[in-house]
Structure 1
């Protein structure tokens, strides 16, 4: 199909160690004090380097890309590689994670809208820094949906300063559709569980809370997480990307256990100008992974594994082309 425009790659980048400076930065926003690492390439030759905001995936994933699944270090490694090629990065802890603190720490106080607001605040902050150049956004997994929403123009507000957008392992459908599909397709789930899932999602889609949730579904639908789900259900990645008016790169691994290659094509179908890079043999934490699911998942806890070279080449070349 015409939207399947593959990003042409040059010879693989030979990344070499380079000096970089990292410093802690903080930002006060309504309801939270956000913290992040700003990493910039050293040397006068870099002048005002382009800078990328790296938005983390779902759950308590920190600025380095470590999560409950393990210390993958995905964003730490990405930032180091970007610095080696003269590109600065800001990788924040999302509110309530790591050093980013909340005025109200209750789980039910957090919404998806908060994450979008925080991302927009970081973009505004980056654009105001006199020692930094043009700004781009990289969103990973759920962070890709946050990125898509954050670059949208707001009524009565200045346009987003983002000049480019990269979506890494980003869903192509809304969270409700994903949950329904995963629950339905799992042969271990009895029909009653599928029916309960549909009833709960129908209610949440109407903005209603569900007080009684069966134990098997509690990890997904517990009452304290329902405000977050209610707010996230309105964000449809395919609809959001259709309204994006900056250069966009969609990157998807074909051994991702969480996001399918089909998701990349759903996004590309909604945005004909977007480029797509399919990373062969690459999983959700952006490293080469075996076919075996258990061995694939084990890479999530190995922070020493390097990010896949072709994926890095695609990302760096795209940024260098769009942020000149």
Structure 2
């Protein structure tokens, strides 16, 4: 399918004046996961999007207590609502309201998040309020979402700022900015990629990334290749990427598109990793991560709405 480049504004219109935003709870064997369902008030079934958050302690609204106050996911849900599209967004296990479903960091691997997404998708599919179910994943949530879409027959998959290469390659490239540590980091990644935990003491400067309790998760994550996973999908796929995203590049989107030739690729000029207008300058770009009042790009909503129709 053709590649689409969007810039400029798109006027959305409201089809329903009244809507519902209700709590949503998923019961799992290891604890409850909590989310928010935004749904139009209508007597007819509507399409619904399962929105999966990115990495770190990012909650259902697109915020965390460390460095994010964006409300990006909430804004996306509110915007799609105006197009008569429901959205279920949730706190992943261990995050915000779902913290109790996370017994210990050492017990969680990447596929646990995939299993949770599968359960959410199956629950939505069984709900007669919804005509079709789509899965959308942001950043790390893109890989979670595409793997969930392999297991649940959904209507389509949407990748927003998803990585297009194995995490090990991305980490090596990012950490290469600290040349003195590069040999040590590469060796540690080699060990984890081989499926083994690290032996011996860990440099305190690297503890945040390589602490013992996170290593099982890292091992499960590093072996995955997003291009291999997206190639397994035989459903409509939409890949969305912003040009001023300082965390995931347009090149990542191109890799995903090459692996899924029938996918629609949408490049949004000037959109950052958090769906908002931002400059390419790193400091100025990061400054927008603390401005929840900034609106998300309407081209993002337009692309999703067009894909779902």
Q: TM-score, normalised by structure 2?
A: 0.94
| Counterpart check, 1:112 vs 2:110 | yes
Other-structure match for 1:197: 185
Q: 1:179 to 1:210 in 2, by over 3 A?
A: same
- Within the candidate set 48, 54, 60, 2:57 is matched to 60
Other-structure match for 1:145: 143
Q: Distance in 2 between matches of 1:11 and 1:296?
A: 20
Q: Distance in 2 between matches of 1:89 and 1:276?
A: 22
Q: TM-score, normalised by structure 1?
A: 0.90
Aligned residues: 306
Q: 1:18 to 1:173 in 2, by over 3 A?
A: farther
Q: 1:198 to 1:24 in 2, by over 3 A?
A: same
Native 8 Å contact 1:9 1:313 kept in 2: no
Give me the CA root mean square deviation. 1.9
Q: Distance in 2 between matches of 1:120 and 1:133?
A: 18
Other-structure match for 2:157: 165
Q: 1:104 to 1:170 in 2, by over 3 A?
A: closer
Q: Distance in 1 between matches of 2:245 and 2:203?
A: 29
Q: Distance in 2 between matches of 1:65 and 1:145?
A: 17
Q: Distance in 2 between matches of 1:194 and 1:4?
A: 39
Q: Offset at 1:304?
A: 1.2
- Within the candidate set 289, 295, 308, 1:300 is matched to 289
Other-structure match for 1:157: none
Q: 1:11 to 1:213 in 2, by over 3 A?
A: closer
Native 8 Å contact 1:140 1:167 kept in 2: yes
Native 8 Å contact 1:4 1:265 kept in 2: no
Q: Distance in 2 between matches of 1:273 and 1:88?
A: 26
| Counterpart check, 1:260 vs 2:287 | no
Other-structure match for 1:175: 167
Deviations 1:265-288 (A, max 9, x none): 000011100110101011000000
- Higher alpha-carbon deviation: 85-94 or 300-309: 300-309
Native 8 Å contact 1:4 1:268 kept in 2: no
Other-structure match for 2:207: 218
| Counterpart check, 1:278 vs 2:267 | yes
Native 8 Å contact 2:22 2:36 kept in 1: yes
- Gaps of at least 5 residues in structure 2 are none
Q: Distance in 2 between matches of 1:217 and 1:292?
A: 26
Runs of 4 or more, structure 1, over 3 Å off, are 7-11, 15-18, 101-104
- Gaps of at least 5 residues in structure 1 are 154-159
Native 8 Å contact 2:40 2:84 kept in 1: yes
Q: Offset at 1:292?
A: 2.3
Q: Distance in 2 between matches of 1:10 and 1:124?
A: 37
- Higher alpha-carbon deviation: 47-56 or 301-310: 301-310
- Higher alpha-carbon deviation: 34-43 or 86-95: 34-43
- Higher alpha-carbon deviation: 29-38 or 269-278: 29-38
Q: Offset at 1:63?
A: 0.5
Native 8 Å contact 1:53 1:90 kept in 2: yes
Q: Distance in 2 between matches of 1:181 and 1:135?
A: 36
